[in-house]
Amino acid sequence: MNALLDAPRRLISLGQWAVTLALCAFLIVPVVMSVMAGLTVNYFRGISSGLTLRWLEQVWTQYRPSVFLSLEVALATLAITLVIGVPAAYALARSKTRMARLVEELLVLPIALPGLASALALIVVYGGFTAFRTSAAFIVVGHVVFTLPFMVRAVAAVAASADLRTLEEGAASLGATFWQRFTTIVLPNLKPGIVAGALAVVTLSIGEFNLTWMLHTPDTKTLPVGLADTYASLRIEIGSAYTIVFFLMTMPLLIAMQWLGVDVTGQRALRGRARSRR
């Protein structure tokens, strides 16, 4: 009887694995093919034409400034969204008024708009300031507008579930100042949301193309803009080699931030277990 019941379960499990592996192959195979194209002498002849690092060297020589500019823009965007987004999320989570909910919805508005529309709005308003318009700071502003909602939402969600008001009232009754409460109670409890928001901000900033394409100038090309240029005007091997450089620059950062997020989550779970035992 048990064998008869286990048979359908095994079939369902095998089917789930088959679908999962098929989806992974659907997503990973194009990436692998693109990487291989950047390492072959001739893409159309395939690996039989031989392997080479010439295309990587050419991309690095020609587009190295774009790589570092993207990292600078992403880090600047992260710093600004942390300074603005964390206090804003904290205030929105504590406030129960309709005005706070309205402000929260307005912060999400840039996500609903196409990146090109947001970029055009920035150009219309600030395009007259030539020095600002032609600097990387203009791209940073656009990225902050686009990524700030992700930081605010991530931190606000954690703040709303942590019952910070009760913890702060307890600390205040013991004589703690606002700054002491914010640094020793609020920020440690918001850390999972801050890490999640930081991950979203960095990845979105590095990979954002539509908004950046409208805001960039010939002197402020970021990784995605340079990648589009290589595929549009050069050999496919060059574009594929640029993709490899993109992966090499972004994957270590993403892995490090993912590890930090898992570590933070694990520490939070351990603290929760310790409290429950008490």
pLDDT > 90: percent of the chain = 8
Listed residue (263, 139, 273) closest to 210, CA to CA: 139
Residue 78 is predicted with a pLDDT of 93
pTM for the full predicted model: 0.76
Q: How far is CA 37 from CA 45, 55, 60, 206, 264, in A?
A: 10, 10, 16, 23, 38
- pLDDT-derived band at 193, boundaries 50, 70, 90: confident
Residue 91 has pLDDT above 80, yes or no: yes
Block residue for tokens 């970029």: 119
Listed residue (158, 161, 180) closest to 86, CA to CA: 158
Specify the amino acid at residue 194: I
- pLDDT-derived band at 140, boundaries 50, 70, 90: very high
Chain Cα centroid distance, residue 222: 15
Q: What is the pLDDT of residues 93-106, one digit of tens each?
A: 777 778 877 877 77
Residue 262 is predicted with a pLDDT of 55
In this structure, what token pair is assigned to residue 86?
């964390």
Residue 258 is predicted with a pLDDT of 67
Residue 144 is predicted with a pLDDT of 92
CATH node for 60-268:
1.10.3720.10
142 contacts 211 by C-beta, under 8 angstroms: yes
- pLDDT-derived band at 274, boundaries 50, 70, 90: very low
Residue 43 is predicted with a pLDDT of 76
Q: Sketch the domain layout of the chain as residue ranges.
A: 60-268
In this structure, what token pair is assigned to residue 8?
């359908």
- pLDDT-derived band at 71, boundaries 50, 70, 90: confident
CA–CA gap between residue 43 and residue 28 (Å, rounded): 18
Which residues, 6 or more positions from 26, have their beta carbon under 8 angstroms from its beta carbon? none
